[in-house]
Every structure is written in C-alpha cells, then in structure tokens.
Amino acid sequence: MLVYVPYELIDDGQRVLTKKLITPDNLENFCTDGTLYVEPGYILTPGAIDKARLADITIHHGKPHPKEPPALSEAGPSPSDQHAGHDFIMPTINLLGSGCLTRAIGKIKAMDCSKALVVTDAMLCKVGVATIVTDMLFQHGIDAVIYDGTCPNPSVANVQSGLGLLRKNRCDFVISLGGGSPHDCAKAIALLATNGGDISDYVGIDRSHSPSLPLVAINTTAGTASEMTRFCIITNEQTHVKMAIVDQNVTPAISINDPQLMLGMPASLTAATGMDALTHAIEAYISTQATPLTDAVASKAMELIVKYLPRAVENGQDEEAREQMAYAQFMAGMAFNNAGLGYVHAMAHQLGGKYGLPHGICNAVLLPYVMAYNMETAANRLSDVAYFLGCRVHGKNAREASVMGIEEVCRLLLKVNIPTSLTALNVSEADIPCMAANALKDACALTNPRQGTQTDIEQIFRNAL
C-alpha cells in the first residue's frame, strides 16, 4: 500500500513530517479491494469521507488484513514478485576516483589470469587509450589482444567476431574498455565463452547455467553503468531488435571508474550518457522492485546529476564535475541493477534497434512522457523525484509536485542540448506499432509501476513525436 505523507520544509532545507492526512487527492492510495483503511495515526478529512461515500467505498478503521505470501516457484522469484525478498548484485571489487586505474593492475594480477581480450572501439584505439591499458598489462606479465570492432549499439556480429578472436588467441579473461557498447559486447563474449550457444539463447532473466569468463570493466563514460551491472543489451541486426540479457553471470568481477579517462568526452556524449544515468535513477526509484537501499543511491544520484551534468557538458575539463558524475552514474547503476527499470528503457531499446540511435538520447526524449504516463499510479514517488531534482514542492500535492519534476527534466534537456522530440530524430510513426509490441516483451518493462497495453505504449511514442 502506498502511503502519502506531506512534507514541510524548515529553515535549513530539511524535510519534516507533518500530519498524516487522507484527503480526496490521495484517497485511492489507502484503498484495497474497495475498502479504505484508516490506520492509527492517520486523519480522514471530511472531503475524503464524502468522496469515499460517493464512490461506495467501505471505511475501515484499522490495518488491512495481511495477505498470505505467494509460494516461490522452482525457478526462483519472479522479477515482479513483491514478497520474495531482494538480491543486491554488483561487482565484488569497485575502484572509483581520480587515478584509480593505476591501482587496478594489482587487482587484475590477483585474478591469476594470463591473457586478456581487450574489447573496445576504434576511437579509443585511435587516441591511444587502449594502448595505455595493454602496456600496463604487458609490464606486469599479462598478455593481451585487442578487439576494437565494437560499434554503437553492439550487434550479434560484433559479439561473434570478438568471441572468435578470444578463442583463436586462447584468452582466459576479458577486459572491456569504453562506455556501454564495449561493456555489453564484452559481457556477451565472456558469457558465450563458457556457456556456448547464441546470445539470443540468454534473452530474459538469468538464463545462463555457468559463470562467464572473468571480466574487468574499465569505464570511460558517465554513464550507462554497464561496467557494474548484470544488464547486457545486444542488437539483432536481422530483426533490428535490441535483446535484453539480464543475468548475474554477466556482472563484471572488477569495475573501474577513473574520471581522468572521462575528461576527453565531447559535450554531446557527456549529455547523452548523463541523461541515461538520470533515467536509471528515476526509473529505479519508481520501480515496483525499489527498496530502501536502492532508494538511497537513486535519490543521491539524482541530486548529483542535476547539479553536475550541466557543468560537465559546459566544460569537459571540469574535474570535480567529472568525478561527481562518475559517482552519480555508479550509484544510479547500483539502483537499477537491483530495482529494475521501466518503460523508458523498454521503449528506448526499440528506437536504438530500429534506427541505431544513441541510447542516452532515446531515454532522454522519452523520459518526460513516461513519467507523465506513470503519474496515475506513482505520483507519490514522482513527487519525491521532483524534490531530489531540486524542485520546491512544499505545499504541493503529489500530482502537482510530479508535474514540477517532469518540467525540471525538460529544462535539463534544454540546458544540455538534447533533442526534445522523436520527430527531431527522424522516427516514423509507421514504425510505432511494431516498436510498442516489442517494448512490452522487453525485460525492462516488467518493473514499470504502471503496466499498460500496446495501445498505451503506442500513445506514449506518439506523444513524444
């Protein structure tokens, strides 16, 4: 049951609880199966009483009767199961902060591996970042071979090429270097190296049977957070569909976030990846699988991103902004890796698969429209989001505060020069029905707070045109 608690701001900006009121606006949040439960400590306003009577809602003073927890299936808890407990998954070792790359070699040597496949892209090879990594390995007696064929929105063909190189050179571990695309490609390679088959065999949640090859993820963007998650997104170039593999066996063993590697990111990439991180934080916070632990890191990530992303976009050499964004995107990753995502990502995957568009841009354009759609069932959580984004929500009801949060996201899009419509991205309305159908099949859709129909998803796409 959702609980609406008004907030009051005091002089130092802190939030304190005021009276716990049940009003006409939040009445439905206290209703279960046609009964309004007024628990001890809550006040039922006259307007709420009138609304309940008009709607033929029974008023019960006391707590709802507890429901029997559902039985767990042999396959384990469903992602949408609210009563099965929660896992918290992340890499065993995580290095963060300026200069941490130089400390990584000791951790890598401790893995007792001898030859790495370094999965990266042509640009990072061209500017010499890949050479820095391989030289570091060579100096400490670790051999390496580079696969630089990863493209944006990595494809099945990229994975197969990298896997072939790994087998030919008998590599016993994998290093990913870059942003989300190299990380996802490397995860798929490492998974297939030990599990066999095609990457499409592992679409869904925890479909693999064996741990992948050890994976070290060196991050250069902020951020997809793919360097520390169990998510792996690979494009089927035949169907133009992005396949979502959500599997704890693809979680890297070591993640490395050195802001010094992020200073060279262009403004456009900084903005796109930063908005991806914000989407992670917001979708995790309103997810049906959110917990106090994921709430804590998601809320802090939102606060940091809204403060430091504009600075990082304006001046790529701003070391404080880069470091704070590195921490923010990592925390957003901690949140969504364990709470799940929602319709923004499920829909963005379809745009990326169909049109090859940058993932962060797709998320950014869709985010305000999906937030608006989710207001019907998640207004209380979205009002919290508005507060974390810096909106002055004192005196506003949940719906009003939610709208303020959506408006703040739109202002941030303009501030960092992100397109604000799918039309600007040359998306065709004719493709919407197919993309909507595929979005509902995406694993990320499972934890959206409001479950909709294909017609609903189509309308969100159209609203964003």
pLDDT in tens, 143-186: 999 999 999 999 999 999 999 999 999 999 999 999 999 999 99
For residue 228, give every residue at least 6 positions away whose Cβ sits within 8 Å of its Cβ, in sequence order, or none: 90, 91, 94, 217, 251, 252, 255, 330, 333, 334, 337
Give mean pLDDT, residues 364-373. 97
Residue with tokens 């169907």: 239
| 41 pLDDT tier (thresholds 50, 70, 90) | low
Look up residue 127 and give its two tokens: 């500017």
Cα(379)–Cα(372) distance, integer angstroms: 9
Nearest to 203 by CA among 423, 353, 50, 304: 353
Look up residue 126 and give its two tokens: 């061209």
Q: Which CATH class is domain 93-262?
A: alpha beta
CATH topology of domain 267-463: Dehydroquinate synthase-like, alpha domain (1.20.1090)
For residue 67, give every residue at least 6 positions away whose Cβ sits within 8 Å of its Cβ, in sequence order, or none: none
Strand partners, 146: 118
Q: Based on the number of CB atoms within 10 Å of its own CB, is 141 exposed (0-12), middle (13-18) or buried (19 or more)?
A: exposed
Cα(275)–Cα(365) distance, integer angstroms: 9
Helix ranges (H only) for 145-205 are 156-168, 180-195
For residues 98 and 324, the answer to whether their CB atoms sit within 8 Å is no
Phi, psi of 15 (to 5 degrees): -100, 135
Instruction: Render pLDDT for 252-294 as a digit per residue (tens, 0 to 9).
Output: 999 999 999 999 899 999 999 999 999 999 999 999 999 999 9
Domain ranges of the chain: 7-61, 93-262, 267-463
Look up residue 406 and give its two tokens: 């959506």
Task: Work out the angle at residue 133's Cα, subtended by the Cα atoms of residues 208 and 186, and round it to the nearest 5 degrees.
Answer: 20
Helix ranges (H only) for 38-100 are 46-54
**DSSP for 226-260, written as a single string:** GGG-SEEEEEETTTTEEEEEE-GGGS-SEEEE-GG
| 18 pLDDT tier (thresholds 50, 70, 90) | very low
Report which of residues 394 and 33 the model is more confident about.
394
pTM over 0.85: no
Q: How many residues does the structure list for the chain?
A: 465
For residues 378 and 452, the answer to whether their CB atoms sit within 8 Å is no
Portion of the chain with pLDDT greater than 90, in percent:
79
Nearest to 129 by CA among 179, 95, 171: 179
| 34 pLDDT tier (thresholds 50, 70, 90) | confident
34 in the Ramachandran plot: left (φ > 0), alpha (ψ -120 to 50) or beta? left
The set of long-range contacts for 357-360, using a CB threshold of 8 Å and a minimum separation of 24, is 357/425, 358/152, 358/272, 359/153, 359/180, 359/224, 359/233, 359/272, 359/276, 360/224, 360/271, 360/272, 360/273, 360/274, 360/275, 360/276, 360/279
